[in-house]
């Protein structure tokens, strides 16, 4: 028997909720089995300097200390309830926010929660081998932090399934532990979560691009009329910020190091740069193109009746819904989407309700563009003449209006043959992957030491010095 409040920090009154306790009695051991099998490889005895959320109060959500990851206290937290909260959009706008699942939306809502929940363990699976090639103890600690928090995000979604969806919810919670990233027979639900994350450049790109998709999906669900989902997502967002920080600063530090080495040695040619053991900027651009394009697909079809239904029924809102200045019903509004007509990409207006995926994708692109701008400043400040660019949103897409076309990063519609001739100028080749991985053949774990291909961060975690022992290997 588990002592729930001890083992599972929560603010959902778990100690008195017998139904939830019984559901977790079955699920928690299965979760631990999954963590042992699919969590970070060979890490179970390490003591890691991690933050743990023990309450939603400002002083409780980031308690730092050494923890063996299997002993991490995966908790269940919802942002405190606002008694006056309403459904803020769609046909139920103005009703009190729902505290129980509306019967008519039960299966749709369950699907939305399962789809979000599935991404959380997927990314842990994708990253499980990276500890053996970490560039520093600081970075090793960060990937473990991301991993345990993705585990907690799975708990957050499983809580909703167990608490609000009865037997089907329990079955879905089990399936979340059964699917595997990249598995031929039982893959994760969404494409980008079945791609490999083979090296640390890919990991930082993933946390910058794909965790940020997570942020935007959570922001849309945080507007939900189903209040427990909204409150769960709001708390998850506090953790997501760190994941994107890891990605943004990781890439920034790689760029910084490359630029330093280029300047010191007065080289610009990628092969000369590689000879010095750092990652050339064109390779970084190709990784960026890959991660950006597969992440754009996660938003779904540009025109989608499902997206319209989610919105109209009050289940999933827009980014910053309540800050937007319109009727929040969108019955007459229009929104532009792209399509290919006569060999050109054109923009055309469609009913805004059907274009909500595209709109969320556009909101995401705005934020991504700012981040890429910050990376560019690192290059500019070093005085290196190189421009990092975001490819056109039609580049390398497999979902939506632009899928099936051969679009260059500049947005030209090409023939398949022409596109294929340039493919590995635009996307990482097996040689690029092999080179990047050759830099990461072993791990760097001496406190305060960093691999040659990455600059140290500006500061340590939780005000600790850079040479702090972030991981004890035992």
Residue 335 gets the label, from left (phi > 0), alpha (psi -120 to 50) or beta, of beta
Q: In DSSP terms, which residues pair with 51 in a beta bridge?
A: 64
Q: Which stretch in 191-199, 226-234, 241-249, 412-420 sits in contact with Fe ion by CB under 5 A? A: 241-249
Q: Which stretch in 49-57, 153-161, 296-304, 342-350 sits in contact with Fe ion by CB under 5 A? A: 153-161
The footprint of Fe ion on residues 261-320 (CB under 5 A) is none
Q: Give dist(CA 251, CA 93) in Å, integer.
A: 42
Per CB under 5 A, 125 contacts Fe ion: no
DSSP string covering 7-25, please?
Answer: HS-BSS-GGG-HHHHHHHH
Residues 82-121: x where in contact with Fe ion by CB under 5 A, - otherwise, as a string: --------------------------------------x-
Number of amino acids touching Fe ion (CB under 5 A):
7
Q: How far is the CB of 346 from Fe ion (least distance, A)?
A: 35
Among 51, 141, 179, 243, binds Fe ion (CB under 5 A): 243
Q: Which stretch in 72-80, 235-243, 258-266, 395-403 sits in contact with Fe ion by CB under 5 A? A: 235-243
Q: In DSSP terms, which residues pair with 65 in a beta bridge?
A: 50
Q: How far is the CB of 211 from Fe ion (least distance, A)?
A: 4
Q: How far is the CB of 295 from Fe ion (least distance, A)?
A: 13
Per CB under 5 A, 211 contacts Fe ion: yes
Cβ closest to Fe ion, residue 153 vs residue 291: 153
Distances (CA, A) of 100 to 24, 103, 345: 20, 9, 44
Q: How far is the CB of 191 from Fe ion (least distance, A)?
A: 17
Distances (CA, A) of 69 to 32, 73, 93, 181, 299: 10, 9, 43, 21, 32
Q: Which stretch in 15-23, 207-215, 256-264, 452-460 sits in contact with Fe ion by CB under 5 A? A: 207-215
Q: How far is the CB of 266 from Fe ion (least distance, A)?
A: 40
Cβ closest to Fe ion, residue 97 vs residue 219: 219
Cβ closest to Fe ion, residue 120 vs residue 172: 120
Strands 47-52, 63-68: pairing is: antiparallel
Cβ closest to Fe ion, residue 217 vs residue 293: 217
Cβ closest to Fe ion, residue 118 vs residue 120: 120
CB 454 within 8 A of CB 254: yes
Q: In DSSP terms, which residues pair with 440 in a beta bridge?
A: none
Q: Give dist(CA 365, CA 390) in Å, integer.
A: 9
Q: How far is the CB of 158 from Fe ion (least distance, A)?
A: 13
Q: How far is the CB of 212 from Fe ion (least distance, A)?
A: 9
Q: Please give the radius of gyration of the chain, using alpha carbons only, rounded to the nearest integer.
A: 23
Helices (H), 208-226: 211-221
Per CB under 5 A, 153 contacts Fe ion: yes
Q: How far is the CB of 228 from Fe ion (least distance, A)?
A: 17
Q: Which stretch in 135-143, 237-245, 381-389, 414-422 sits in contact with Fe ion by CB under 5 A? A: 237-245
Helix (H, G, I), strand (E, B) or coil at 393: coil
Q: Which stretch in 192-200, 210-218, 361-369, 384-392 sits in contact with Fe ion by CB under 5 A? A: 210-218
Q: How far is the CB of 143 from Fe ion (least distance, A)?
A: 11
CB 366 within 8 A of CB 268: no
Cβ closest to Fe ion, residue 214 vs residue 409: 214
What is the helix (H) or strand (E) element at residue 431, kind and residue range? helix 430-438
Helices (H), 266-414: 270-275, 281-297, 305-312, 356-382
Cβ closest to Fe ion, residue 236 vs residue 337: 236
Closest CA to 403 of 302, 292, 305, 286: 302
Q: How far is the CB of 131 from Fe ion (least distance, A)?
A: 17
Distances (CA, A) of 455 to 278, 347, 428, 452: 10, 42, 23, 8
Cβ closest to Fe ion, residue 119 vs residue 256: 119
CA atoms within 13 A on the CB side of 322: 14
Q: Where along the sequence are the contacts to Fe ion (CB under 5 A)?
A: 120, 150, 153, 211, 214, 240, 243
């Amino acid at each position: 028997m588990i002592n729930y409040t001890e083992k599972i920090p929560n603010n959902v009154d778990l100690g008195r909720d017998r139904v939830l306790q019984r559901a977790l009695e079955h699920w928690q051991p299965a979760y631990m089995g999954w963590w042992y099998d699919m969590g970070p490889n060979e890490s179970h005895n390490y003591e890691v300097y991690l933050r743990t959320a023990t309450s939603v109060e400002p002083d409780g959500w980031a308690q730092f200390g050494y923890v063996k990851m299997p002993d991490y206290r995966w908790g269940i937290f919802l942002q405190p309830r606002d008694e006056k909260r309403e459904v803020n959009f769609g046909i139920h706008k103005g009703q009190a926010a729902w505290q129980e699942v509306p019967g008519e939306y039960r299966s749709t809502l369950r699907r939305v929660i399962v789809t979000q929940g599935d991404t959380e363990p997927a990314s842990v699976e994708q990253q499980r081998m990276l500890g053996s090639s970490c560039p520093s103890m600081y970075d090793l600690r960060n990937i473990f932090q991301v991993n345990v928090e993705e585990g907690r995000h799975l708990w957050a979604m499983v809580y909703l399934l167990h608490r609000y969806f009865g037997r089907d919810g329990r079955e879905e919670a089990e399936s979340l532990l059964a699917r595997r990233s990249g598995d031929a027979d039982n893959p994760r639900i969404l494409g980008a979560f079945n791609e490999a994350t083979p090296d640390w450049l890919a990991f930082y790109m993933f946390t910058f691009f794909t965790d940020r998709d997570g942020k935007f999906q959570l922001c849309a669900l945080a507007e939900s009329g189903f209040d427990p989902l909204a409150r769960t997502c709001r708390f998850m967002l506090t953790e997501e910020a760190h994941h994107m920080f890891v990605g943004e600063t990781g890439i920034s530090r790689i760029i910084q190091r490359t630029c330093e080495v280029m300047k010191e040695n007065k080289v610009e040619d990628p092969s000369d740069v590689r000879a010095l053991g750092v990652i050339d900027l064109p390779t970084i651009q190709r990784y960026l193109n890959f991660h950006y394009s597969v992440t754009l697909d996660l938003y779904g079809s540009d025109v989608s009746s499902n997206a319209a239904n989610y919105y109209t029924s009050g289940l999933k809102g827009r980014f910053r819904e309540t800050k937007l200045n319109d009727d929040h019903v969108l019955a007459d509004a229009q929104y532009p989407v792209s399509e290919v007509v006569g060999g050109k990409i054109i923009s055309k207006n469609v009913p805004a309700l059907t274009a909500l995926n595209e709109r969320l994708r556009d909101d995401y692109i705005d934020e991504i563009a700012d981040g890429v701008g910050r990376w560019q400043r690192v290059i500019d400040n070093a005085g290196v003449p190189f421009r990092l660019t975001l490819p056109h949103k039609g580049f390398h897409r497999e979902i939506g209006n632009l899928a099936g076309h051969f679009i260059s990063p500049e947005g030209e519609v090409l023939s398949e043959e022409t596109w294929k001739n340039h493919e590995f100028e635009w996307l990482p080749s097996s040689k690029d992957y092999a080179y990047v991985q050759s830099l990461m053949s072993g791990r760097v774990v001496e406190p305060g030491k960093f691999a040659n291909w990455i600059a140290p961060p500006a500061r340590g975690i939780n005000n600790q010095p850079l040479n702090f022992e972030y991981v004890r290997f035992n």
